[in-house]
Amino acid sequence: MRPHCRCALLIAVVAWSAPAAALPSFEQVRTDWRSADVVVLDRHGDTVGRVRDDFRARRGDWVALADTSPALRTAIVLSEDRRFYAHSGVDWQGVAAAAWANLWNTRTRGASTLTMQLAGLLDDDLRRPGAAGQGRSFTQKLGQAAGAAALERSWSKDQILEAYLNLVPFRGELVGLSAMSQVLFGKYPEGLNARESALAVALVRAPNAKAAQVASRACGILREMRLPRECDGLEGVAQLALLRTGPVAQRAAAAMATSASPQLAPHLSRRLVGETRAQLAPGAPMPARIASTLDARLQRAATASLDRHLRELAGRNVEDGAVVVIDNASGDVLAYVGSSGALSAAAQVDHAAAQRQAGSTLKPFLYEQALEEKRITAASLLDDRPVNLPVGGGLYVPQNYDHRYAGWVSTRAALAASLNVPAVRTLVMVTPHRFHKRLVALGLPLTEAGDYYGYSLALGSADVSLLALTNAYRALANGGRYAPPRLRQSTPAPAMTAVMQPAASYVIADILSDRHARARTFGLDSPLTTRFWTAVKTGTSKDMRDNWCIGWSQRYTVGVWVGNASGASMHDVSGVSGAAPVWHDVMEALHRMQGSRAPVAPAGVERVALSFADGLEPAREEVFLTGTAIMRVSVGAPAARPSAPVIANPADGTVFALDPDMPPASQRVWFQAEGVAGQGARAVSWRMDGKPLGRGGEVAWLPWPGRHQVELLDAAGKVVDRIGIEVRGASVRAPAATTGHSNRR
């Protein structure tokens, strides 16, 4: 008797008489299945992201048989085991046919059933090829037959087919139906049509075949399915599918065909997986799933709003954005949109974690600290006129957004309208050192000391992340109590620490919720106005590189950033036109079913009727810390005018820097004198470096680089005032501390 005939007879004997092999149960196999990805879930168990963790093979989630395409189930049975539902693990007709064919050296369908193949997939010893690649050994065949018989005795046919489809390798690193379907065809297994099913099944027997061979075999399967017309154009479909398994395509499909796999929060998913991996002991396995604090529905709403509004800003050189939503009480991050996705040229950059210049968004913390230290009240008058502050190497000259000045304004108006000069004057009182300590206590990652930032810290010269900044605003919402945000459900809610005074925090909330106070800059009707109680602040960094809108309601704090990953300037995009519309949308989505009420005043706050002398501001009710209330505000007597003409502007020691982006002829320095009103318009004259410059109380000068001495002369030609200035050429950049600062709103 020939060896193959003896093999067939022995397989029959062993399969019939073998005891149950030591193979796992169906439930054990399904429970032990691990995707190659770590799956990140939202708070309700919905998938929001996948991150590849196992690079030995690409496996997707376990797919139930009911969730597979009927066409695929038909194709796999017709191709691999047409008597699958009739045999008990070993197809005796197939064994006999194989033995007869081997006797006469003819080609026929193999004798291995789906159940035998599954036994091989479950046992490495049964799957390992024989010597010199000659296929499985005689002993392995016997083992497969025995294993198949054992499986048929303890598993149902549906369980066998389901496990087989999830364990069978298809092509390259693709293992299982889920990975194959999503990578090759960009869809879930239940969506595979007859052509795609036939191509997939053709790969089972010849995983590394060329497209023409795969298409030819798939066409044969389609004919057996009585669908010969589906063969038309099949080779082109095969070529396209197999291209997706190449090295370049595999890297591009790192998230397993994102068109099919949910990637609502890719940036947070990568962050959570990276943090988890760093915390694991050496050799410890990664968890298959990580439960985040996100809410998938809110994440979708925030993503859609960001996409829609950035598209509306097309043509203004803005393509990136980020959104963060935090629950005030728990600190749970409910939405974390790290980028604008397809709109961005750097979609992988996590802008919710990236550090960017804060702009005016730090002002509420500055005014809160000044209130807490009782240096000012909400009614205190602050001077909004040009100021020159001496710093190392020159003068710091802050400017307002619109380069206009309001004179005396209350703290309420200065903060709500986001005026720059009053904020800098307030920081002079608080000092950069103490303000820096407060910001660090609120979780903002300021890496340098307060003196490094200097007075520009009042206008947000420090770099912060959207997540950290939004969480700092959450401290204002919680009456000055700070705690880190929570990103995963397994982490206990951090305890809160009192950082700011509740009463002072309440005053800031009252100011930032006052749409009348911000009307000077933003008007009464803007995206900052909501139909329920909210407090909000915008900010734009120098040169319009970063645009922010951060605010809170009774239950939630929402932060939005828009800009460009490259750091390029936006074109005419301010806080109210860039980030604010997205902030408004998200707030409306959060409060669609419930409103938001104003916070209850804490102990240490009183509300008093207030009026202003000379109509500086309208009368109103104002909130004060207990013991600081006043009922009427007036400006003190003005200082006496100088008896002799003096140079009012610029100050002695001013350093000017020529702007390389502006034509030199368009740049001017204006010299202004005081004390000349009674002497006639041309009673004084100016001299630059000993040469005549002009006459009158105000003259313009076309600057050129170098150190210069400017003199003011009275009507008799006598020098009455003298200053020194410096102009630095366009190719020489002046230190940041010596240039004018005009952070946006």
Tell me, yes or no, whether 632 lies in a domain: no
Tell me, yes or no, whether 589 lies in a domain: yes
Q: Are 377 and 608 in contact (CB under 8 A)?
A: no
Distance from C-alpha of 50 to C-alpha of 37, rounded to nearest angstrom: 6
Tell me, yes or no, whether 263 lies in a domain: no
- Considering its fold, how many domains does the chain have in total? 3
Question: Are 123 and 28 in the same domain?
Answer: yes
Q: What is the CA radius of gyration of the chain?
A: 37
pLDDT band at residue 574 using 50, 70 and 90 as cut-offs: confident
Last residue of a domain, one of 206, 232, 248: 248
Question: pLDDT tens digits, residue range 18-40?
Answer: 444 478 899 999 988 888 889 99
Backbone angles phi, psi at 395, to 5 degrees: -125, 145
Please give the pLDDT value at position 65: 94
pLDDT band at residue 395 using 50, 70 and 90 as cut-offs: low
Question: pLDDT tens digits, residue range 71-97?
Answer: 999 999 999 888 899 888 887 766 655
pLDDT band at residue 103 using 50, 70 and 90 as cut-offs: very low
Tell me, yes or no, whether 51 lies in a domain: no
Question: Are 128 and 213 in the same domain?
Answer: yes
Residue type, 429: M
Q: How far is CA 744 from CA 415, 432, 546, 580, 736, in A?
A: 13, 20, 10, 14, 17
Question: pLDDT tens digits, residue range 346-376?
Answer: 999 999 999 999 999 999 999 999 999 999 9
Question: Are 229 and 147 in the same domain?
Answer: yes
Alpha carbon 9 to chain centroid, angstroms:
65
Cross-sheet strand order for the sheet of 333-337: 333-337, 320-327, 556-563, 546-552, 535-540
Question: Are 338 and 205 in the same domain?
Answer: no
Question: Are 117 and 231 in the same domain?
Answer: yes
Tell me, yes or no, whether 559 lies in a domain: yes
Out of 92-101, 219-228, 377-386, pick the least confident: 92-101
Question: Are 667 and 589 in the same domain?
Answer: no
Out of 105-109, 169-173, 267-271, 582-586, pick the least confident: 105-109
Question: Are 530 and 671 in the same domain?
Answer: no
**Residue 143 belongs to domain with CATH number:** 1.10.3810.10
Cα diameter, the chain? 134
Question: Are 70 and 137 in the same domain?
Answer: yes
pLDDT band at residue 625 using 50, 70 and 90 as cut-offs: very high
Question: Are 612 and 466 in the same domain?
Answer: yes
Q: Which domain holds residue 230?
A: 3-33+61-248
Strands 556-563 and 605-612: unpaired
**Residue 650 belongs to domain with CATH number:** 2.60.40.10
Tell me, yes or no, whether 52 lies in a domain: no
Measured on CA atoms in the order 146, 150, 155, 156, is the torsion positive or negative? Answer: positive
Proportion of the chain above pLDDT 70, given as a percent: 83
**Residue 452 belongs to domain with CATH number:** 3.40.710.10
Q: Are 62 and 37 in contact (CB under 8 A)?
A: no
Which residues is 561 bridged to in the sheet?
322, 548
Question: Are 686 and 570 in the same domain?
Answer: no
Q: Is the pLDDT of residue 200 over 90?
A: yes
Last residue of a domain, one of 564, 590, 624: 624
Question: Are 17 and 120 in the same domain?
Answer: yes
Q: Is the pLDDT of residue 489 over 70?
A: yes
Distance from C-alpha of 311 to C-alpha of 294, rounded to nearest angstrom: 25
Question: Are 594 and 663 in the same domain?
Answer: no
Please give the pLDDT value at position 259: 39
Tell me, yes or no, whether 49 lies in a domain: no
Last residue of a domain, one of 248, 263, 289: 248
Tell me, yes or no, whether 634 lies in a domain: no
Question: pLDDT tens digits, residue range 320-353?
Answer: 999 999 999 999 999 999 999 989 989 999 999 9
